[in-house]
Chains A and B, each alone.
Chain A
């Protein structure tokens, strides 16, 4: 295991190691993708604890099906496809796909701070900017889920259009049209602040 983590292996190499019986090597995959998947799922289901549970389930599913992964494809695409199916399944079962955002609350009922990662913004980052981000995030979260998913994949997870098409199972043209529409919807909703 140590050797796996010392060298930088490609996803495919790590998976081969796992399939060869080194279960611990799967930790490398979790490490690599936990943040991306958790963010994707969080913006889809809009509930932090739930998104972590779903993320764990996605990794377990991926592990269980690892031998069916075809290394001719990109592993990240395969993994996000599992996440997409699993999350959308879950949302369907919940039957409240367009409910207002649910933010976990402390016992005291105070406002709950999401554990946002700071990625090097200056401490002087303006309030206006934070406010703008908040507004945009809300607007994204209000998009219909089929549009929301594409915005998240593109702008939060930085997936290519082709990957997005494979992940969602939509034709490439549909992906392009929808993300264009989605951005227009965001612009409409943010008219007063843009």
Chain B
């Protein structure tokens, strides 16, 4: 497999969405090719770090504020 093809498959590996053949071919290539390996590792790290960024918090009063702002009781959607 050529580097180009391997790098095309990178998004599928990020999403864990690849076939058995693709996995075998990519693994074999990565063993031989440092450039692609670094690319895979860097992208994997990027996504891992991205997904471990802590979310922002919502004030505990938020829900109450939304509920207070709802229109006076009547079936929603009816105007």
Question: A residues near B, CB below 8 A?
Answer: 18-19, 21, 23-24, 26-27, 30-31, 34-35, 38-39, 42, 48, 51-52, 55-56, 59-60, 63-68, 114-119, 121, 129, 132-133, 136-137, 140, 151, 155-156, 158, 176, 179-180, 183, 186-187, 190, 194
- Residue interface bits B36-75, CB-to-A below 8 A is 1, else 0: 0000001101110111111111110011011101110101
* B41, closest chain A residue (CB): A194
Given known contacts A24-B67, A190-B46, is B77 in contact with A176 (CB within 8 Å)? no
Interface size in chain B (residues, C-beta < 8 A): 31
Q: A19-B76, A117-B56, A140-B50 are in contact. Are A52 and B11 (CB under 8 A)?
A: no
Q: Which residues of B are at the interface with A, using a C-beta cutoff of 8 A?
A: 11, 14, 42-43, 45-47, 49-59, 62-63, 65-67, 69-71, 73, 75-78
Determine if A136 and B63 form an interchain contact, defined as CB atoms under 8 angstroms apart: no
What is the interface of chain B mostly: helix, strand, loop, or mixed? helix
Q: How far is the CA of A34 from the CA of B46 in the complex (A)?
A: 26
Say whether B66 contacts A155, CB under 8 Å.
Answer: no
- B44 nearest CB across to chain A (Å): 11
